[in-house]
Amino acid sequence: MHKACKRFGQNFLVDHRIIDRIIATIAPKRDDNLLEIGPGQGAITLPLLDYVDQLNVIEIDRNLISILESLKHSNLIVHQGDVLKFDLNVVPIPIRVIGNLPYNISSHVLFYLLKNLNKIKDMTFMLQKEVVERIAANNGSKIYGRLSVMMQAFFDVQMIFIVPPESFNPAPRVESAVVHLKPLTQPKTKDIKILEKVVKLAFSQRRKTLKNCLKSILTQKQTNIDLSQRAEMLTIDNFITLTKDYEKQH
């Protein structure tokens, strides 16, 4: 048995009912191009291998690689390394990304994948429940922020089910949740970078008005959005409008 490594955010799934529900959520088809992030000891990997012709996995912990390789399935391709540096071009597109993500880097992983949106068919992740709530939050809520806007501008977000700490070994201190993210058929903007710049600035000081936060890039004269509000009041479409107004000026 591998000793869980905190540094790599290792909380291994041990509850088979949860694993079955994750597989049912993914609903894998034989010719899907699946990529699993952080396969660990193979809790989700092994059952998935029965459903698909090819499964790519990327795992950082060298001590787990031999365990994964000993699964000895001809349809399993094991990559060792950091997912944040992983070249997605080695996986055929469109990619269905899945994983019980290491919680310490889950936002980084989401932003990394967002930058590769054109290669992605969908994503099914286990995350800290609080992170899923932030991704899915509506404007006006305290937890609505950069993660909510950036994810909802490009994905249809669905929280699927909640998972208690006891489903893992070691048990994390928080609840988890499975989320499904499907790229919108009509993306609201193609300009991820500019939207990110506007959103980052807008939420840089949550208690200040947009007029204050955005003053280096946009003034009230240049937009119909009321800049006396705080960023948390704006809908996703409002942010897209701000991005377009910004682009007109530059």
Annotated binding site for S-adenosyl-L-methionine: 11, 13, 38, 59, 82, 100
The CB-of-19 to ligand SAM minimum distance in angstroms stands at 8
Nearer Cβ to ligand SAM (18/210): 18
Nearer Cβ to ligand SAM (84/217): 84
Nearer Cβ to ligand SAM (37/137): 37
Judged by the rule CB under 6 A, the positions of this chain that interact with ligand SAM are: 8-13, 37-40, 43-44, 58-61, 64, 82-84, 100, 102, 105
Cα gap 231→250, rounded to integer Å: 22
| 94, 115 contact by CB (below 8 A) | no
The CB-of-133 to ligand SAM minimum distance in angstroms stands at 19
Cα gap 209→202, rounded to integer Å: 8
Nearer Cβ to ligand SAM (131/218): 131
The CB-of-122 to ligand SAM minimum distance in angstroms stands at 18
Residue number closest to ligand SAM, CB atom: 38
Region of residue 82 (left: phi > 0; alpha: psi -120 to 50; beta: else): beta
Region of residue 27 (left: phi > 0; alpha: psi -120 to 50; beta: else): left
Binding site membership: which residues?
Answer: 11, 13, 38, 59, 82, 100
The CB-of-120 to ligand SAM minimum distance in angstroms stands at 17
**CA 101 to chain CA centroid, nearest Å:** 9
Q: State yes or no: cis peptide before 165, omega within 30 of 0.
A: no
79 three-class SS: strand
Nearer Cβ to ligand SAM (108/200): 108
Cα gap 203→169, rounded to integer Å: 36
The CB-of-193 to ligand SAM minimum distance in angstroms stands at 23
